[in-house]
Amino acid sequence: MNMASIGIICIFSLIYISAGTATAPSAFVTVQCKPDHVGQYGQQSLLECVVNATQKDVTIRVVAWKKADETSLLVFNKEKITTQVPGYMFAEPSWNTKNMNISLLINNTDSKDEGGYVCMVMTDRGTANNQTRLKVRAKYNKPTIKSVPETIIENADGSLACTSSGGYPEGRLRWFDEHNVEWMKSAQMEAEKTQSGLFKLSSKLTLLRGSIFSKYTCKVYNANGDAEDEVTFEIPSKQEGREGEKEMNSASKIVAPLVVIGSLIAGLLLVVIVYRRRSQQARRPSTAPLMSDHQAVPYIPGDEADDHQQMDIESQKSLA
C-alpha cells in the first residue's frame, strides 16, 4: 500500500468517526477492482469495483472515489452523496447502502481521465480500499497524402506529406514502398497534442531522383504498435506520360484534317449561295424587251419588281 492510499484511509477514518462509530480496517470486508480498464474517447467508461464481505447483511456507510492525485470525484456519506463531479456517478442508478456494486461510471471519457483511481468503502463490518487504472484510447482518422510539387514524376526530386489526427495516445506514421519495404531514414515525423487532448501526426517523406518508386503507402499505428489505417499514393511513370502524349498527338492528327475539310465545305457552300443570288438578279431585267407592246402582263400583288414592270408597259402604250 502506498502513501497516498494510507493518507486516504486516515481521511476516511476521520469521516467515519464524525459519523458516530469508528471501525478499523477488517479482513471481513474487501474491495475487489479490476486492475486495468480501457475506455474509448468520447464514450462511457466503467471502473468495476465490488464489496465482498464474509458476513451477511452488510450496510455500507461511506464510499469515496478519488483520482490518484487525491481529487475527489464521488463521495457518499451519511445516507447521501456529498461530493459529485459532473460526469462521474455510480454505475447503478438506483444504488443504495445494501448494494455491493460500487463501480464508477464516467460519461464522455476524455484524455484527462486517464490514470489511477482509488476506491474506499466503510461498512458496519469494517473498511477496505483498492486501486484501479484507466487507459484512454482514440482511433486515428484515415491518413491523407499531399505531394510537393502537385505532380511528381520519375527522375525528379519531390516530397510526400502524410497526416492523420484524432488519435490517443501518441501513435506513429510509417512509409512503405511498392515492395513493402519501410522508408525510415528519409521520413521525418512530428506529433502535436491538440486542445482536445488528442494527437495530430504528420510525416514528410523526401524523394530523390533516381530512387522514386511507383507507389508509396502511409500507415498510421496506435500506441500499441497496431496498424489502424493506411493510404497509398501512386506516382505516374515517364512511360505513362509518353503514352498520354501519344494519345494527344493521335487525336490532333485526326481532328486537324476534319477541321480543314469542314472549312472547305463551308467555303464551297458560301460560293454556291452567292453565285445563285447573282444569277437570279441578272435574269429578271432581261425579260421586258421580249414582250410585245399589246401583250398583257399578269399582275401579282405584293411583288415589288413586277409592279415596276407593269408601270413601264403602261407608259409605253400611252406614248404609242
CB atoms within 10 A of CB 216: 23
Mean pLDDT of 104-130: 96
Mean pLDDT check: name the lowest of 103-117, 222-236, 296-310.
296-310
Q: How far apart are CA 58 and CA 123, in angstroms?
A: 7
Q: Please report the pLDDT score of residue 300 as a whole number.
A: 47
CA distance 203 to 161: 6
Instruction: Determine the pLDDT at residue 26.
Output: 60
Sign, CA dihedral 53-57-63-67, equals positive
Coil/strand/helix, residue 281:
helix
With 0.85 as the threshold, say if the pTM is over it: no
Q: Scanning the structure block, which residue is given the C-alpha cell 450496510?
A: 59
Higher pLDDT, 8 or 69: 69
Count of other CB atoms within 10 angstroms of residue 144: 13
Comparing 73 with 318, the larger pLDDT belongs to 73
**Mean pLDDT value of segment 128-146:** 97
Range in 48-62, 146-160, 174-188, 290-304 the model is least confident about: 290-304
Residues near 37 by beta carbon (within 8 Å), at least 6 away in sequence: 45, 46, 47, 48, 132, 133, 134, 135
- The 3-state DSSP class for residue 272 equals helix
Distance CA 204, CA 210 (A): 18
234 Cβ contact list (under 8 Å, min separation 6)? 214, 215
How does the average pLDDT of the chain come out, rounded? 80
pLDDT at residue 288 tops 50: no
Confidence bin at 235 (pLDDT 50/70/90): confident
